[in-house]
Amino acid sequence: MQSQDYKKRLKIQIIILLSILISSCTVPSVTTALSTLLERESIRVGTVYGAATFYNGADGPQGFEYELLAGFADYLGVTLDLYPFYSYEDMLQQLEEGNLDIVATGDAVTPSLKRRFNYGPAYQEVEQQLVFRAGTSRPRELNALDHPIVVVSGSSQSQLLAALLFPNAEPVNSKTLIATEDSDFEELLQQVAIGDITYTVADSNRLALQRRRYPDLAVAMTLHEAMPMAWALPLNQDDSVKAALIEYFGTVHQSGWFTVLEDKYFGHIRQFDYVDSRAFNQSAEATLGKYKPLFQQFSGELDWRLLAAMSYQESHWEPDAVSHTGVRGLMMLTLDTAGDWNVEDRTDPEQSIRGGSRYFASLLNRIPARIGEPDRTWMAMAAYNIGMGHLEDARVLTERQGGNPDLWVDVKRRLPQLRQKKYYRTTRYGYARGDEALQYVENIRRYYDSLVWLDQQGKI
């Protein structure tokens, strides 16, 4: 998955799993749910479209749930047959009827769902939060809302609200709760942000993803904490597939790959700054246009939007920006770096972007070739902030402490240690503001995500 060593470990796990299956069978052999899909050489999985589940990106299928599912199919040595559904309830019905092996919704598990389905191991926990638009009246009590809450029909949110609002009966033509199949989770959050509806309920994962796009989304209250997320299985089948899921998730957690994947999709968006997000989106729409051609011209093999995100973090796209350390311009170049890349006037937008782009490309080329993407980009970005020597110190600390120096998720945990004497006195280059470098990279990742979305919407 992320490395050859990891793939080898997966193959070993497959051999062990198949050996257990074979040794546990007597003659005549007993057909299990797992042996059926292994013989079929495919696993049929239902999911829903969404940034946290599955979507077709520029580089092919993407999404947190999709990558986990693809990993499980590889683990079993079968083909992943993925069926995206528009209707949440239709998908669950297909699982009940035996037309799917697994359903991966990216949704929480409720007591009512556990009565209908079996579940694999929980791999995340989320909060369920009542969402409204910032600037409007914040509701204080769930039972005293001035408008209905709109949620996706059949989802954990609809079931949770039904239990909270109508504990003794199912709602009929409720003016308090509206369950719809016309909009998905992300659309409902967008509708709250633009004022088309007043309230919805979202889990903390989906809300974190959407708040970068719509900073006006605000949390009124948390309705439920620590709800588990897991893949659903048919209720009345044997536990062979569930056992394989337990083995698989144990393997990906032990290898560290799950942590890498979680960081890829959620690690940089857990913290939310309303003022910063709103200011960034406004600046992107109002200011970025004048510099966009320069970012595109000098980006080379880089994504121009990543270069633009770096520039915003550096200077907020102010060509005359200057820091207390003396760095200047859109890309905040030092005098030495400017000289190295033939930048005569650091406040000239074209020269600054050209120099900053080439300098960053040189840092990327200095990252060891064995380090894959996106880790090498995040590490080069940290080096742009604190220097390649201090990045290498953080990688050395990572290896000393048993982490993987080739994984950003491990290295970023050690960057703040460069500010602590007991650690930096053991390094080659000494003290550095590593905590600032960490925040620098995480900010740029958030800005980049927002720029990609704004670009797709035609707003920049």
Active-site residues: which are they?
314
Residue 422, classed as helix, strand or coil, is: helix
Query: 113, 232 in Cβ contact below 8 A?
Result: yes
Q: Residue 77 and residue 35: Cα distance in Å, rounded? A: 12
Q: Residue 327 and residue 242: Cα distance in Å, rounded? A: 56
Cα separation values, 211 from 261, 364, 376, 452, 460, Å? 20, 30, 27, 14, 18
H or E, element range at 133: strand 124-133
> Which pair of structure tokens corresponds to residue 427?
């390094």
Tokens 């650091």 — which residue? 346
Residue 445, classed as helix, strand or coil, is: helix
Q: Residue 193 and residue 214: Cα distance in Å, rounded? A: 6
> Which pair of structure tokens corresponds to residue 132?
């409204």
Beta strand 232-234 with 117-119 is antiparallel
CA angle centred on 412, ends 409 and 416, rounded to 5°: 155
Angle subtended by helix axes 304-315 and 375-386, to nearest 10: 30
Cα separation values, 139 from 34, 130, 165, Å? 48, 9, 15
Judged by phi (left if over 0) then psi (alpha if -120 to 50, else beta), residue 195 lies in left
Query: How is residue 66 annotated by DSSP?
Result: H
